[in-house]
Chains A and B, each alone.
Chain A
């Protein structure tokens, strides 16, 4: 039996299982951990698809940075307790289920009409991967996609700045008391300027 088949048929169900697990568990930290495992499985998929660079980047960026960030926030805010049971919105569950099934069905139909279920990956990928996958990728990236590359770098800077601005607060730590003091606030108040008025926003930025 070919190796890639075995690998696929081991990791694909694992991927689905961890995704399901992420949805159903009550504890948010557990859910995040399930997602981490899911990312790992996807990384393996990349490997199967002859994209070793993305395999590495997936693990480093997604599992290593993004999910860590998630876990930071979850534990910082202490919201691992999970939602109250029961769905408050009428028909949400049913519709969501229907839509999910619809998506999969559509994809299957599209595949059937398009490439067909039997098509295997064609052979000539090594030519595209001249000089190793990273080098080939860099070639495409810095030539054909140079402009988007620069734009994404700007995007990252903006995101960093935005995060700093949003997270700025008066110089006290979040305490449980403060949380409880604001527990009843409506989000309307947050729709306006932050407490203290626009001046404080500018002050903080200085």
Chain B
């Protein structure tokens, strides 16, 4: 493979940044969640890239675990969003400011 590893890492960084932007700038809880998934994927990508660089499979294993956890997290998170939605009729996270100081 002729592509420098650095490019993969840069791609990962760009995707992470874009994922963060979605987390910060969207009010819909589901859109935020999608941003989080994007961030996780970006990180997985960089893990695999490093694994390729160092000729070890540990990076891939870690990426694998990350996917497992992400799946579990999505399950629970969506359940929460649904439950909240049933209670309040909205997924707008800005409405959830009860813990305001």
A204 lies within 8 A of chain B by Cβ: no
Main secondary structure of the interface of A (DSSP, over half): helix
- Please, how many angstroms separate the alpha-carbon atoms of A89 and B92 in the complex? 13
Interface residues of A in 111-147 (CB under 8 A from B): 111, 115-122, 124-125, 127-129, 136-137, 140-141, 144-145
A contact residues vs B (CB 8 Å cutoff): 2, 4-5, 8, 12, 15-16, 19-20, 22-23, 28, 31-32, 35, 38-39, 42, 45-46, 48-51, 53-54, 57-58, 61-62, 65-66, 69-70, 73-74, 76-77, 79, 82-84, 87-89, 92-93, 95-97, 99-101, 103-104, 106-108, 111, 115-122, 124-125, 127-129, 136-137, 140-141, 144-145, 148-149, 152, 155-156, 158-160, 162-163, 166-167, 169, 174, 178-180, 182-191
Q: Are B17 and A101 in contact (CB under 8 A)?
A: yes
Q: Which of A5, A53, A117 contacts B2 (CB 8 A)?
A: A5
Tell me how far the C-beta of B19 lies from the nearest C-beta in chain A, rounded to whole angstroms: 7
Q: Are B78 and A70 in contact (CB under 8 A)?
A: yes
* The one of B9, B20, B98 that contacts A191, using a Cβ cutoff of 8 Å: B98
- 16 A-B contacts, Cβ less than 8 Å apart? A4-B2, A4-B3, A23-B26, A31-B31, A35-B38, A42-B41, A49-B52, A70-B78, A76-B82, A77-B82, A104-B10, A121-B52, A121-B53, A137-B60, A188-B98, A190-B87
- Cα–Cα, bound, A122→B50 (Å): 11
Known: A51-B51, A188-B98. A107 touches B9 (CB 8 A): yes
Given known pairs A100-B18, A125-B52, A187-B95, the reply for A22 and B34 (CB within 8 Å) is yes
A172: shortest Cβ distance to chain B, in Å?
A: 11
| Distance between Cα atoms of A60 and B15 in the complex (Å) | 21
> B1-29, CB under 8 A of A: which get 1 and which 0?
11111111111111111111110111110
